[in-house]
Amino acid sequence: MVEVGLASDVAIILVAAAFAGILAVRLGQPTIIGYILTGVVIGPVGVGIVEPSLITEAMAELGLAFLLFLLGIKMRISEIRHLIAPIVKISIPQMAAIGLIGFGLAALLPFTFEQSVIIGLAVMYSSTAVVIKMLNDKGEATSLHGKIDVGILLAQDIVVVIILAVLAAGRPEGIGDVATSLGIVLVLVTATTAAAIAASRYLLPSLFRRIAEDTTLFFLVAISWLFIFVLVSDQVDVLLAPVGIEAYLSVEMGAFLAGLAIAQLPYSKDLQGRVNPLTDLFVMVFFVSVALDFEAADLLAYWQEAIVVAVALMIAKFVVFFALLNWQRFDLETTFLGSVGMLQVSEFGIVVAVAAAESDPPFIGTEELGFITLVALMTMSVSVYFIQYNQQLFERVEPYLTRFEQSDPVKPAGTDHKNHVLVIGYDEITRRAIRILEAQYDDIVVVDRNVEHIKAVEGAGYEALFGDFKYAKIRKDAGVAYADFIFSSSVQLEINEILLEEASEETTVFVEAATTEQADRLYDLGADYVIMAPQLSVVQFIEYLRAYFSDRSTFERAVAADMELLESGLLFPEMKDRGGEDND
Amino acid sequence: MTDVSLLTALAILFVIIGPLLLIARSLRLSVVPSLILAGLIVGQLGIIDEELMLELARLGIAFLIFAFSVQIHTERVRTTVSDTEVVAIVQALVLGALGVVFALGIGITLELGLLANVGFEGTLGIEQALFVGIAAALSSTIVGTALFAKGQSDIVHDYLSAEIDSFNDLLAVIILLVVSAGVFTLEPIATQLGYGVILFAAAVIVNRYFFGVIELLTGGSDESMLISIVALLIVFLAAAEFLETSIVVGAFAAGLAVRDNPVTYSEVFNGLTSIRQFFVAIFFATVGALVTLPAPGAVIATPAETLSPFLPVAALAFGLVVLTVIVKPIVTVALLVYNGYDRRSATVAGLDMDHVGEFSIIVAIEALILGLLIEPVFEAIILAAAVSMLLSNLTQTYAEDIYRAMLDRGWLGRPYHNVDDWHTVPEGITDHVVIVGYGRQGRRLAQFCEEIDQPYVVIENNPQALSALRDECAAYVLGDAIEPETVEVANYDRARLIISTAELPALTDYFLSLSDTVDVIVRTRELPMAAELLERGATYVIVPDLLAADQLASRLEGLLDGTYGPEEIRSVGLEALGVGDTAPHPSSTDLPTQTDDSEV
């Protein structure tokens, strides 16, 4: 009854993108470039073996939704609060300036007023994907200039979603119309934001606390949460039609707010690691499918103009960012590195352009869309090298920039862990170890995937990190490479192997093993001590038993002491309804 | 309203999945049946474009098989067949045969028109009956062990069900190969097996020669590696499609082609897990959506006409549920007890696999797509799967109570002791130490008793421990610790001390009831529980972490205050490895190794 062939378009896209991705990695280009070029090659511009299908379109839409969801999950307000003021003061004038420059450049070239407006709106953001990926690869994401860049990118993304929502409302018929759509959009955005924030205050904490330990359930419910927002924002016109309001919200905005609501929970970091791969996969399909709608003629229609605009924009972006960062009193190095990172036009520029092209009637044609895509492609490719060699570049130009040096620059807020104790999995053994270790260490970080344990750890005044140590994101936040003492009570061999691989030579590492073979292996990998809890406990128990048979009063004392300890409530609370399967 | 976009359909699906999963969680039900249920609901809305969803769903199948295959080929392949696998084979054969016979019975009833106006399109012949048999025979790993958050686990029955389940999974893959032959005649099956062999050979070649190249080329980029592995999977799926064999075979081969290296590529494998979970959720929901239930409105309006095509479906489903939920555990328990396992472990293991497994669902959906299975039988299998999985959750929760109830009514018969020396306890033993469980701990305790010349009796319920017991223990009983025969032989009442190294509540409760006359030491890993057990009369409670922490504390303090150098602490640890040897068999008392998170 059901005829199903394998989604052949998806298959070709995947295989081609895999090759392109490998090629891009080898050539030191961001994978995005590889994906977009894949679309160019296999789509109508190139050999024309793939056409957009229902499945590729759905996957591309999912890709965008997931990308914004992921972005939302990363927006932990408490972590960027101290940078919010400078970031707002930088990003708003920056977008206005670059938007105007983009508009001006386009207006000078053979574009209409309306097209120039869209071009201006499309080029004012820098690429989240490129910048964050490069910063992560270089380990600079948590440096001061990294944080500033990330903050500005997030501010830009908020503007993107608002613009997308306005564009989704269709062509305005006058300034009043723009105001009405903007008004409705702002009301809807505010309402959705309020709903998201209310949920993150009142609904989600208790909800996710109950399920956070069950990884599958946690992941699927989070995705379900995302889709509630996607569905509402996608169908808001249908929902509001009975009341006579014509309104549109972008799926991206909904996805972003769904993520934002989760971001404020302690479980968000864990979720990031789980959503990331799905995002990678679907966003890949999105980038490939960007070019699927183009004919070669469209993409290259304005190639000369594109080169001019690309060069001009990169210079303009650097100057604007440098001036604004300097104005906000960041030190010279931060100002330079922060500016040099943001030279490219964002993939969101393409998204905005696509939305403008798909609006009914379209604001721009496919040729203008091709122009914007080409500009984004070129600026992204070039900017990758600027980020790659940003330090060397700074050393070269520093002598010429000394007059911009601040006398009293903003200091980076030190939140990173160094020379600390890292504890993986909180149980009675690690609790005792922490009590001993705290005599020598001030900074103790505990990673656990049990909600109750996290509460207990925080209650005891240590820093707690909710998450699965298997995920690189969690390990990075826990500062594995910089720890002085690592104590793992996970008996998952895989986790301990990863741990030993990433810990530095000087770090003292205690790990736990379930079997002798595992212990052997962990010693081979460089563990300083492997805890075999069952063996240790037997040794101790036999001491007690010896007392039981030969010296009853010693035994009674031991029992009384343990009884006292058990009743004292000094121990960490164990979840009563679960077994021991959660302490990783 | 079928004009809904795929994204909207997916969104609606997941919006319904979320709350259902939450409800299921609070009722302690597992994920898979909840997903099928969500699909059922969405299916009735009529917004799902079946073909499109099936394409996404098949990616779910592919990822499920792929993950299974990646994990299985890294485990050492054993050449010996253990007694549990014999149990698995016989159990599958018996249930399969019963399923076929039952389905044929229904088919003949329909054919003869014994019930007026009842029937559906298509005939329920031997081919259809075979699929019902397959569904009855196969339970599976994922529902059986991983999805249900249990309290303390009793390792003997856990490993029993795990072994039987993983055998079932292997069987399912072979069946899928056969099913994909399209017809049950000899020649195409041979061709299909030939194609299968070609794909597997290609997989081995990729694994040996090309995978290293991919690793080299992706140059440590997790994203690129992830996409490459997904692409590799897709290539194998396409090859399978080209050879007109099942994508299951392709996915299985692809799994063999990938080198399992969860340490170096932890992010890649984490990524595959997320992607798999997403598509597998879509898969099970789609399966549910393919089932058409009679509309409630129509049932009220025209009950006879609406229900008549559904009646045989319901009958088939009901029969399958009875077979899997009631008959299968009985067969399993009988076989396990016959093989020397105690009645409690056998019962609990039997109740672990009383459901239609998800591999049966994959077999059914592949057969449906290939046109081998008619829709009513498919629907019956899916309904039976959902219901039996839900019931399976229940029986697992109350396994211990079910065992008690059956034992009290004498339904479990007498313990079957197929060896003469099932115990070696001297008659009239008194003032002895009873050691329950012969795992790492129990073994060390027995050694200690011998050191101080204290008479002791070891109680162990795993028949695989028998040879060790014979060689090492002066006195042992092979059997469940609270079965009357064991109690009698081990003479608990006259013992000096009972040490239970098992953490089963049932055992703990029983021993505490003896605490007025005998000293009782029990074990638990839950601290609040330990305090409670002490209050209830335990002489001492073994809390492994607490005891281990005492030992460890002294070593750690030594390291910090400089008594030990880093080298010394290492050598102390290395030395200790020689002392604490591991148990040669799983015992009910060994700390279970960390179970994986429940994953679909």
Phi and psi at residue B523, to the nearest 5°: -130, 140
B-proximal residues of A, 260-319, CB under 8 Å: 273-278, 280-281, 284
CA distance A21 to chain B (A): 6
Q: Residue A441 and residue A419: Cα distance in Å, rounded? A: 8
> A191 in the Ramachandran plot: left (φ > 0), alpha (ψ -120 to 50) or beta?
alpha
Q: Give Cα B202 distance to the centre of its chain.
A: 30
CATH number at residue A490: 3.40.50.720
Most B CBs within 10 Å: which of A220, A232, A490, as the mutation test of the B interface? Answer: A220
| Element holding A423 (H helix, E strand) | strand A421-424
How, if at all, do strands A444-448 and A421-424 pair? Answer: parallel
Q: Are residues A435 and A530 in the same domain?
A: yes
Neighbour-count burial of A459, counting CB atoms closer than 10 A to its CB (0-12 exposed, 13-18 middle, 19+ buried): exposed
* A343's tokens: 């030279």
Q: Are residues A550 and A456 in the same domain?
A: yes
> Are A267 and A208 in contact, with CB atoms under 8 Å apart?
yes
Inter-chain CB proximity B8 and A231 less than 8 Å: yes
| Element holding A422 (H helix, E strand) | strand A421-424
Three-state secondary-structure class, residue A508: strand
Q: Residue A530 and residue A172: Cα distance in Å, rounded? A: 69
Q: Residue A129 and residue A30: Cα distance in Å, rounded? A: 9
> Are B482 and B437 in contact, with CB atoms under 8 Å apart?
no
Q: Are residues A393 and A427 in the same domain?
A: no
Per-residue model confidence (pLDDT) at position B589: 47
Phi and psi at residue A487, to the nearest 5°: -130, 105
Nearest residue in B to A276, CA atom: B271
Name the residue among B237, B274, B594 with its Cβ closest to that of A491: B594
SS3 sequence of B362-380:
HHHHHHHHCCCCCHHHHHH
The residue behind tokens 């299921």 is B24
Torsion B160-B165-B171-B173 (CA) sign:
negative
Best CA proximity match to B569, nearest among A428, A523, A481: A523
CATH of domain B6-407: 1.20.1530.20
The residue behind tokens 């029986």 is B395
Q: Are residues A521 and A556 in the same domain?
A: yes
Tell me the CA distances in angstroms from B547 to A541, A567, A584, one per residue in order. 7, 16, 20
Neighbour-count burial of B501, counting CB atoms closer than 10 A to its CB (0-12 exposed, 13-18 middle, 19+ buried): buried
Name the residue among A428, A573, A581 with its Cβ closest to that of B594: A581
A563 lies in a domain?
yes
Neighbour-count burial of B400, counting CB atoms closer than 10 A to its CB (0-12 exposed, 13-18 middle, 19+ buried): middle
SS3 sequence of A261-299:
HHHCCCCHHHHHHHHHHHHHHHHHHHHHHHHHCCCHHHH
Q: With contacts defined as CB-CB under 8 Å, which chain A residues touch B531?
A: 563, 566-567
B-proximal residues of A, 388-417, CB under 8 Å: none
Q: Are residues A233 and A95 in the same domain?
A: yes
Within 8 A by CB and 6+ apart from B509, the residues are: none
A411 lies in a domain?
no
CATH of B433-579, one of 3.100.10.10, 3.40.50.720, 3.40.50.150, 3.40.50.1000: 3.40.50.720
CA distance B89 to chain A (A): 31
Per-residue model confidence (pLDDT) at position B3: 54
From A370, A401, A432, give the residue that closes a domain: A401
Phi and psi at residue B312, to the nearest 5°: -60, -35
Tell me the CA distances in angstroms from A197 to A186, A200, A207, one per residue in order. 16, 5, 15
A575 lies in a domain?
no
Nearest residue in B to A216, CA atom: B599
Digits of tens for pLDDT over chain A (584 positions)? 333 444 577 888 888 999 888 888 888 777 777 887 888 888 877 787 887 777 888 888 888 888 878 878 877 777 667 778 888 899 999 999 999 999 999 999 888 998 999 999 999 999 877 787 677 667 676 678 888 887 888 788 778 877 877 777 666 666 676 777 777 777 887 888 889 889 988 988 888 888 887 888 899 999 999 999 999 888 877 777 777 666 667 777 788 889 989 988 888 888 888 888 888 888 888 878 877 777 777 778 888 889 999 999 999 999 999 999 988 888 888 899 999 999 999 888 888 888 888 777 788 888 888 899 889 888 988 888 888 888 889 989 888 887 777 776 665 555 567 788 899 988 888 888 888 888 888 888 899 888 888 888 888 888 888 888 888 778 888 888 888 899 998 888 888 888 888 888 888 899 998 888 888 888 888 888 888 888 888 888 888 888 888 888 888 887 787 777 776 655 554 433 333 333 33
Within 8 A by CB and 6+ apart from A21, the residues are: A31, A34, A35, A284, B218, B221, B223, B224, B227, B228
The amino acid that residue A470 corresponds to is K
Tell me the CA distances in angstroms from B67 to A579, B268, B366, B599, one per residue in order. 26, 13, 18, 11
A48 lies in a domain?
yes
pTM: 0.80
B-proximal residues of A, 416-445, CB under 8 Å: 427-429, 431-433, 436-437, 439-440
Inter-chain CB proximity B17 and A224 less than 8 Å: yes
B453-479 pLDDT tens trace = 889 999 988 777 788 888 888 888 888
A584 lies in a domain?
no
Per-residue model confidence (pLDDT) at position B271: 85
Inter-chain CB proximity A532 and B576 less than 8 Å: yes
> Are A16 and B252 in contact, with CB atoms under 8 Å apart?
no
* B325's tokens: 């939920």
Inter-chain CB proximity A62 and B7 less than 8 Å: yes
Inter-chain CB proximity B221 and A492 less than 8 Å: no
Parts of chain B with a pLDDT under 70: 1-4, 71-84, 113-123, 139-170, 173, 177, 179-189, 220, 262, 299, 304-306, 414-419, 576-600
* B78's tokens: 């054993």
* A543's tokens: 């001491």
Q: Are residues A343 and A450 in the same domain?
A: no
Number of Cβ within a 10 Å radius of residue B187: 9
Phi and psi at residue A6, to the nearest 5°: -65, 145
A299 lies in a domain?
yes
* A373's tokens: 């895509």
How, if at all, do strands A508-512 and A485-488 pair? Answer: parallel
Inter-chain CB proximity B552 and A528 less than 8 Å: no
Q: Residue A531 and residue A33: Cα distance in Å, rounded? A: 48
Tell me the CA distances in angstroms from B515 to A5, A528, B528, one per residue in order. 67, 43, 20
| Element holding B459 (H helix, E strand) | strand B456-460
Tell me the CA distances in angstroms from A415 to A72, A78, A143, A269, A418, one per residue in order. 21, 12, 10, 16, 9
What is the tally of structural domains in chain A?
A: 2
Inter-chain CB proximity A26 and B576 less than 8 Å: no
Name the residue among B217, B263, B547 with its Cβ closest to that of A494: B263
Q: Are residues A380 and A433 in the same domain?
A: no
Q: Are residues A425 and A395 in the same domain?
A: no
Three-state secondary-structure class, residue B393: helix
Q: Are residues A175 and A283 in the same domain?
A: yes
Q: Are residues A261 and A397 in the same domain?
A: yes
Q: Domain locations in chain B?
A: 6-407, 433-579
Per-residue model confidence (pLDDT) at position A287: 79
Q: Are residues A366 and A446 in the same domain?
A: no
Three-state secondary-structure class, residue A582: coil
Q: What is the DSSP letter of B463?
A: G
Q: Residue A11 and residue B523: Cα distance in Å, rounded? A: 54
Nearest residue in B to A221, CA atom: B18
Per-residue model confidence (pLDDT) at position B598: 36
> Are B268 and B226 in contact, with CB atoms under 8 Å apart?
yes
Q: Are residues A432 and A381 in the same domain?
A: no
**Domain that includes residue A498, residue range:** 421-568
Q: What is the DSSP string of B302-350?
A: SHHHHHTTHHHHHHHHHHHHHIIIIIHHHHHHHHHHHTT--HHHHHHHH
Name the residue among B58, B444, B592 with its Cβ closest to that of A538: B444
**Chain B touched by A18 (CB under 8 Å):** yes
The amino acid that residue A284 corresponds to is M
Q: What is the CA radius of gyration of chain A?
A: 27
